[in-house]
Amino acid sequence: MFTMTLRKAGLAAATALALSLTATACGGGDSGSGGDKINIGIKFDQPGLGLKTQDGDYTGFDVDVAKYVAKELGHEEGDITWKQAPSNERENMIANGDVDFIVATYTINDERKERVSFAGPYFLAHQDLLVRADDSTVRSEDDLNTSELKLCSVTGSTSAQNVKNDFAPKANLINYGGYSECLTGLENKTVDALTTDDSILAGFAAQEEHQGKFKLAGLNLSDEPYGIGLKKGDTELQQKINDALKKMVDEGAWEEAAKKHFGPANYEYEAAPEITEKS
């Protein structure tokens, strides 16, 4: 009788343990349920868009968009692991499963859509130049197409491709790994201009340590629709993100985030674009 009681107690304990382990195993990995971890790619070096601060926080318009989308997918802010997404690594990060999605000034274009899918767009920027405040050499697009002008951009960015393939094939184009390196080069006069999207340039110009040093040239060189990059063919996640972006605009949260991050730079951003990336 005593032996049987011990056996029953042991069996009950084993069953409870098995159920506990099963519940724990079922709780992780599903990107749609609350409390699960999610990996999101952003830029770490773009003020106003995606910036990792000295105290380890993450701030910017892209960060706010990513947080809103994650919440709509069932994730609290504490569930997010932020991953640095350099321009030339974004497609690989998505294809390798390093991130669930990327919100990192990621222009939608046909070449990229061969490897990844996009949701959105959620923002429309335009390529421009950042020059030193006292610079008067760049007044129009025609001033760019000369080997005497040292243009800096970032490896893997559409801005670098546009310079090389479209409006300034003769320019002396210097590619660095990040925009902060280009900005340093502009400040110490090893380059003459930094070219990328006006939204990014405005963020740099608005930083307290840079105020008065730089200015935008005011050239509208291209249209750059920012999308949220995700694994190619994942139409279910694409639709969920599109729904989240629409809700963000309809609720006014999109406009609130845009004013917060672009207002200090006096950057005249466009209204939220129509969502075009659909399955």
pLDDT of 66 reads 98
Give the Cα separation of 225 and 117 in Å (integer): 14
pLDDT of 35 reads 59
Short-list 231, 197, 245, 189, CA closest to 213? 189
Sort strands 193-197 and 116-132 into parallel, antiparallel or unpaired.
antiparallel
pLDDT of 142 reads 80
Q: Return the structure tokens found at 248.
A: 């963000």
Residuewise pLDDT in 10s, the chain (279 residues) = 444 443 444 444 444 434 443 433 333 334 444 458 999 999 998 999 999 999 999 999 999 999 999 999 999 999 999 999 998 899 999 999 999 999 999 999 999 999 999 999 999 999 999 999 888 877 778 888 888 888 898 888 878 788 878 888 888 888 888 888 998 999 999 999 998 899 989 888 888 888 888 888 888 888 999 999 999 999 999 999 999 999 999 999 999 999 999 887 778 899 999 999 997
Specify whether the CB–CB gap between 238 and 88 falls below 8 A: no
Identical fold between 38-124+224-265 and 126-216: yes
Sort strands 116-132 and 50-52 into parallel, antiparallel or unpaired.
unpaired
Peptide bond into 121 cis (omega under 30): yes
Q: Which residue has the tokens 């274009």?
A: 109
Give the Cα separation of 151 and 129 in Å (integer): 9
CB-CB neighbours of 53 under 10 Å = 11
Give the Cα separation of 262 and 42 in Å (integer): 17
Give the Cα separation of 241 and 117 in Å (integer): 12
Task: Show me where the domains of the chain are located.
Answer: 38-124+224-265, 126-216
Specify whether the CB–CB gap between 118 and 230 falls below 8 A: yes
Three-state DSSP state, 142? helix
pTM: 0.78
Give the Cα separation of 267 and 138 in Å (integer): 20
Q: Which residue has the tokens 């001033």?
A: 143
For 139-180, the pLDDT digits (tens) are: 778 888 888 888 898 888 878 788 878 888 888 888 888 888
pLDDT of 18 reads 42
Q: Return the structure tokens found at 77.
A: 């802010």
Domain 126-216 is in which class? alpha beta
Residue 96 one-letter amino acid: N
Q: Return the structure tokens found at 223.
A: 């249209």
Tell me the fold of 38-124+224-265: D-Maltodextrin-Binding Protein; domain 2 (3.40.190)
Give the Cα separation of 129 and 181 in Å (integer): 15
Output the CA–CA distances (angstroms, integers) from residue 177 to 22, 152, 278, in the order listed.
45, 11, 32
